[in-house]
A = this chain, B = another copy of it.
Amino acid sequence: MSESIDNQTPPSGGRGAHVCLTPALLPLFSVEEYIVVVIDVFRATSSICYGIENGAEAIIPVSQVEECAAYREKGLDYLLAAERDGKVVDGFDFGNSPFSYTAEKVAGKTVVLTTTNGTHALHLSRAAKKIVIGSFLNLTALSDWLKTQNDNVLLVCAGWKNNFNLEDTLFAGAVTDQLKTDGYVLDDAALAANDLYQLGKHDINDYLKKTSHGERLKKLGIQKDIDFCLQVDIATAIPVLDGERLVKLQQ
């Protein structure tokens, strides 16, 4: 249709809670007008939240195993996390399983994490007022902090190779669910994400079982990781981007 009204900018009155369903849609949003929440629940942003919660000094997300390896060559004392096809790549410290991000392993350390979809979403969001990291692990802490900010929120689903996925959308709907009671104006994608969350919230694991991606992850033998990533509110730390490093947000 040709009606010339734009729906991709925040509302002029009040705060908007908008959902960008995949990084491919980010160019449609004026990201500089938002606090961006990057979401990649299986497993990058869950591992990041858990690692920062457990005292990691910083987590540096990179998109390629080669970039990750380059940090070792710099001679710095970083932990390097990279996996392919569900297995830790030879010569790296660990993979993307959240179980690798315990206090014993990461406290006081800087971790370089290889995450294609998550890094892509982060890079495209560079111009945002602030970029924070969300997962079911820190759902309420994140939502509560967002509500204290007088800003529009853009929930960016990392998705799968630029396409839509259900698990990230469901989490966007979970955040929307907490924000909507606080007067945020929702866009269509936020309304849809929230409705999907209503359908799935009583048993998110069961709801996601029907997805193709869930099927694939199961085949990779990481069902334990998935169960872990779907735990709600076991963390209160909010990772925030500072330069190229994700660190704990100081409130």
Contact with B along A126-167 (1 / 0, CB 8 A): 000000000000000000000000000000000011111110
Contact with B along A3-34 (1 / 0, CB 8 A): 11111100000000000011011001000000
A114 to B4, CA, bound (A): 13
A124 interface residue (CB < 8 Å to B): no
Identify the stretch in A101-109, A206-214, A237-245 within 8 Å (CB) of chain B at 4 or more residues: A206-214
A248 interface residue (CB < 8 Å to B): no
A82 to B1, CA, bound (A): 10
Are A1 and B117 also in contact (CB < 8 A) when A24-B28, A211-B188 are?
yes
Q: Which of B2, B28, B164 contacts A162 (CB 8 A)?
A: B28
**This chain's copy number in the assembly:** 2
Q: Are B196 and A210 in contact (CB under 8 A)?
A: no
A216 interface residue (CB < 8 Å to B): yes
Contacts of A86 in B (CB 8 A): 3
Q: Are B216 and A192 in contact (CB under 8 A)?
A: no
Q: Least Cβ distance of A39 to chain B in Å?
A: 12
Q: Which of B3, B196, B211 contacts A220 (CB 8 A)?
A: B3
Q: Are A84 and B189 in contact (CB under 8 A)?
A: no
Are A161 and B28 also in contact (CB < 8 A) when A7-B212, A192-B196, A212-B7 are?
yes
Identify the stretch in A40-48, A51-59, A70-78 within 8 Å (CB) of chain B at 4 or more residues: A40-48
Q: Give A188-246 interface residues, CB cut-off 8 Å to B.
A: 188-189, 191-192, 195-196, 199, 210-213, 216-217, 220
A85 interface residue (CB < 8 Å to B): yes
Q: Which of B4, B42, B83, B161 contacts A85 (CB 8 A)?
A: B4
Are A1 and B192 also in contact (CB < 8 A) when A7-B213, A25-B22, A163-B28 are?
no
Q: Are A43 and B2 in contact (CB under 8 A)?
A: no
Contacts of A96 in B (CB 8 A): 1-2
Q: Are A115 and B1 in contact (CB under 8 A)?
A: yes
Residue pairs across A and B with Cβ atoms less than 8 A apart, 17 shown, are A1-B40, A2-B96, A3-B86, A3-B216, A3-B217, A4-B84, A4-B85, A25-B163, A25-B164, A28-B162, A28-B163, A165-B188, A166-B188, A169-B192, A191-B211, A192-B196, A195-B196
